[in-house]
Structure 1
Amino acid sequence: MIRNLKRKITLRNLVSICLFIAQSSSINGQAFRNANVDYYSTEMKRLLALETGYYINGATQGQVDVDSAMIMACEMYSLSRLLPYNEGYANVGDSQGERLISAGKIHQAKKLLKSETGPDKVRLLFDLANYYLFRPGSSSGDLDSTRVYMDQVDKITSENKYKNWYNEVLKLKGKFYYQSGNISESQKYFEEIVKSCKNSNDVPGLANALMNQGVFLPFNAPGKLALFQQSLALCQKHKLKTLELQVIARIATIHFVTDLAASEQDLLAFLKLGQQVGFRHLQYTHNVLAYLYIQTTDYVKAMDHAQQSIKYMRQTGDWVLQSFYYMRIGDVLVRLNRTKEAMAWFEKSLEGPLTRQTQVFWYKSFLSKSRLFLYENRPAEAAAFVNKITASFPPASIFDHMQLAFVKAEFNASLNRIPEAEQEYKRFLAVADKFPAEHIHNEFPNVFIHLSRFYFNQKNYGQSRLFAQKCFDLSTRQQSVGNLSLSHLMFFRLDSAAGNYVSAIRNYEKYKMLADSTSNIRQREKYDELLVKYETVKKDQNIESLQQSGVVREARLRQSDFEKKLTLGGISILLIFSGLLFRQFRAKQKSNVRLERQQTEISQKNDALHQLVEEKEWLLKEVHHRVKNNLHTIVSLLEHQSDFLTSDALAAIRDSQHRVFCMSLIHQKLYLSENVTTIRFPEYVGEMVAYLAESFKTQHQIIFDVKVDSIDLEVGIAIPLGLILNEAVTNSIKYAFPSRSGKIEIIGTSMADFYQLIISDNGNGLPDGFDETKSNSLGFRLMRGLSKEIDAAFEVCSGFGTKIMITLSPETIDSRVLTPKL
């Protein structure tokens, strides 16, 4: 906000609020410092500080100015108060000077400036300039101090070695002249930054410069929205997502006043992008969307987003502003005519300590509860509640003064204190015309329509029409369908009173069209209520007519006789019903005893079956253990026998030894595993390859590369695959690398409908013309046979080395328990 127009909250009050937040962790369950956000980067923390500050400014309808709101936001999350303003020169944590300024130790920061040199001095000059420039209040001394530090940093950065600070100095000057009220001079500096970024092809800098140029324009300035849209286009094209969130939020703020449908799309886009980039503090956006849907009378969506705001509040620990979120639920429930529940939510929003320091957070909830008393036609209670609160807490802002005057006017009018009511309405109007346009929302047309009703009831039709027209004009501009329909209803009543029936009918049709289109269910409910009232009145009239004609006595006699018979009949039915209930109770008792007995028998049988299963599993593990031991005995015998053999016989014994070990290892895995029917294949392959490498003493001449997907294989598949793996790896070790080093690669791939095992090497390959289908090699015959046994496709390729592929069919996978491990 411009410096000389922005003092909505006094510096003393702001300091009091911030000290209260800083010193209070919780009072009566109400937290006054939010959960820390150390999980965010500096860039995301800055986004959080900015969006929280703008939310506080909007939620208080400008009565906490932007600069004050930013300081409050930073205090809430224990962030540096300079974070919203130092995006161009401080993205790697805070400095000593920044910490001193955030702690309010300005004198020490100035003292530090005298000893600082180089970039540290430049940064501290920027920090001090920003501190005074965005300090709340309207003291001319703050601008004078800003100029002192701004001139110093301008002088230092004009040297060649600080040319990279050039745009930051321009930005500081642009902000300075904006705060001074010289908009045209401010824009010159921002335009110069834009030009500089274009010349240097600095896309992120250009997007940021265009956004800042728009931010530092008055709300209704021509071209403000266009600048944001240009910045948004660059962000989306170059994926500058965090900056894109800031720009979307600024566009949504403009559309919120000018185009609610566009604002809705902006806010929904912010939610989607925020979730994508990991921005968790989405309660502010949901809360604003709830308010928007209240204005458009889409109360289902309003309730959904109000509840979402509370959900995100709890997830992120945003307790300081909880009054706003609870109040929004109450606002929606009022529109749904759920007044009892609405009152409970308003009271919940007032559960925190009601103090002057926290008044900025809870005063709207107090006013909402007061209006609900009036909505429920309880004006005396509203008056008592208002007088009780305002005795200790008079309104602290212009907005609160206006809304309190409206509430007082309403309960005075309801209590037939017409002069007092009119005086309070005039208090409201005295400041309404001066209220900033960007913060005029649904409350204003609502007051105007009440003023129109007030003057209509006093038969002052001229004033009534004036305020009905004001409500119509503002509701049309804001696209507030609910208030627009009420405007037409007042026009209908005024035209009827004036005898202008053609116009009255036309306005009533418009009222019905708008009312039915926005709240059809509610209209039906009201119609049902009116119908019940009509039938009740009609019945009362009939009774009165009977009494007057003398027939009522006979009717009473008949009614008495009927009531006696009805009573006797009712007693008889009650006795019969009681007997049936008792019989059913006894039958249920017997059934329960029978069920308990059956349950006991089932439990005993289940225990017995469970014991049998455990015994069978133990026996199966014991079988696998003994099979493993027997196979190891065979391996030992073969090892012993090989000591007495040479050449081909020895090689045959060695091959048999490896094959037996291959099966032995599977049985070892089975008895060591919790599952006695499947093994973890990747672990098995790793141990098998390690065994073969050690057996053939490769001494690191051969590199093994094992990449096997994590699966469990049933033993009937694991053993053949293990034997095939043994044969393939053994052949590669023995024949692929006769006089050089090499590499053997084992890949196991598990897909939805097949499993493939590939063993390949980069050795000499197979001889030219080799046909594995006609080969008499025991190894190849064994691999083909084993593949056929498990219905797997067996392929051999030779080129730069040898590749063997075994592919299990879908039928094998379905029938033989091939289970991927997650």
Structure 2
Amino acid sequence: MNKLFFKIFILVLLLSHPAFSKSNSPLLPDIPSGIKKIDLGDTAKINALLRLASTYVNKPGEQADDLSNAINYGNQALSLSHQYHFLPQEIAAYSLLSQSYREKKDIVAGRKYAEQGVKLLPKNSTTIEAADALAELSTYYDATNADSLNIKINYFAKSVGILRKVAPRTKKLADGLKFLGDLNNSRYDLKEAVSLLNESLALYQLLGVKQLQDIYDLLGDALTSSGNTVEGLSYQLKALKTAEMFKDTSQMISTIYYRLAFTYNSINQDNRTAEYMEKASYYALKNRNINDWIMISGSLGTIYNKLGRYREAVKTCEEALIKCPTTDYQNQTNLITNLLFAATATKKLGKASGYYNRLKQLTDAHNIELSPTDAAMIEYLIAMKQFPEAELQVEKFIKYAAVTQSLISKQKIEHYQFQVDSAKGNFLSAISHQENAHLLRDSLLSRNYNKQIGRMQMTFDLQKKDQEIAFKAKHIDLLTHQNQLQNSALHSQKMIRNLFIASVLLLMALLAVLYNRYKLKHQANNDLQEQQEEINTQNESLRQLVDEREWLLKEVHHRVKNNLQIVISLLNSQLSNIKDVVAIDVIRESQNRMRSISLIHQKLYQFDNLATIDAGDYIREIALYLQDSFDTIGHIKFRVDVAPVRLDVSQAVPIGLILNEAITNSIKYAFADQTDKQVSINLTSTDNHVRLMISDNGKGLSPEIDIKQLKSLGMQLMTGLSRQIRAQLKITSNNGLTIELEWLQADPFHTSTHRDKIINDSFSSAAKPMI
């Protein structure tokens, strides 16, 4: 969604402009008879003509007759003011004529009048006419160009500065502050924009203005752009409520709905984003604002695709593409990108090919580089199995992501590289990219929760510290009072011996101090009780957040397990179409590997401990699954002897894969025609060292085979995975084959740190060839 289209507002003020040359003014029509009959001076006549011109040019709509009348009266006012050297009226006439020609779409003539009016301004002029002339000239500078926008803001800021002096507490100043704030928002000077818009809102409210939907909407947009999403959203909802209360059906309501949709999209509220985007599209079309409707249609197609509503995305974008001007390359690109996404997702690759070619022509011809466009092209090329071209497009996407630093873009890149490397057979690189994609996705899921918990923890710590400081201060005060009381008591004893009256007075003073101390202590106890209640409330909130985070982690593991099951099922479906025995074998081995990883995530979400899993249950389930998968139940005996060991997640995945490879090799290759077939699995733990042994009583390896020279995928996996968890791998062939693995058990209190280190080691070693 491109916010730039809605950052630009057309600034319309009250006055306009006059003729280009004072000396060669055209013959002007007579002054209306109604004005001649009034016995007024020349100044009053000119002011009456200016009011008539202003009335016609500011009438609702842009009727040709009204603009002609405005130009007629403006020229008369210009001629008379020039004739009698009335400079303020002459400047006002130039401004009105500029506005009239601008609304007549004669921009060249209108700009000349505006420039002439500003040229006549005395130095440091502080009049209403000067403010209007500067504001009128600012309307001729483009807000989409940075240099032009700066000039526009400079003229308008001068106009507002004059209005602050000559027209404070007026609607004219409030309007000027609002438009200047919107211009600063377009320039992304968000702090200044929010300040100006708040000042404008306060002035409108002071003047009793009720229809404030436009200022609420602008303020909400500026706040959300500056990162204050909560406060910004509250203003945007207030703008919508106000517009609906006054039954506003103008283009303003379309703008409000669009910006609301954009805000909800930024916080991943996809259904609400689509709802408000649809309303914005409806009102843009109702108000015949075709350019905005086309732009909104592109954004609406994007959210439809994100929700999987591909048919609606195609219908919306095709309708907009028909009405999109051929020179509007940006909107054409957005619409065709959405159509390519939808066609690729629904497997309509014939249509997708046509959209891809059109999109490539547009981006190459006009040097358009957009993240959604790159992603759409990559997904199409992968679907068409054009992996070299997809790899080139991924490199282009990487350059874009390096500029934006978007985690979402980086996660997509890792996923696309996984798909490309998998297709090319670069399995180790593919695994590395897939792990990176999972890590980035987990970062996206947990980032908001971590920030929220961090902010709450910081607030709690600060409040606790403040409470301790206050308590110590009060304790010192009490000790001070106590010391003073003791000194008073000593002094009173001395005085009692001399004067009885003095002793009575001191006794009364003592009673007063004691009463005061009682009140202070009572108040201190009340304060402590209130603070304790606040601390209890904060603790409860933190506990709820921790529970929510644990639920979220379980949900992540559940979804990972489900996704792996889906992949396994997809591979299983593919088996029915494959005749090659080797390919079938490879796919089944991949299914077994994925199943071993899936078991880990299943156990993590089924139990409360999210950091470790029970090694015994895990090993038995893998063994049982492989027995069932190869139909060996009753033919091969499995002896499983496992000590009570808990495995960290970062160790469980590699160990599960190694166990899968070892058992699979034993089942497939260890036994010939012997009857007593047996596979043994032993797991022991001593002094934080864990040892895993998988052995069989089969034929073992031939003496001529050098184990270190084996380069099969299974051997590479076992070697690489053992290196990843810093384990010693030993393979011996004596009355069968024995695979022995020994590693250091992870510290349960530092599992996350250990896991990160393992992941980093795996990345650094991914590109190295395995022995």
- The verdict on a shared fold, with TM-score over 0.5 as the criterion, is no
TM-score of the superposed pair, with normalisation by structure 2: 0.43
Query: Who wins on radius of gyration, i.e. which is larger?
Result: 1
TM-score of the superposed pair, with normalisation by structure 1: 0.41
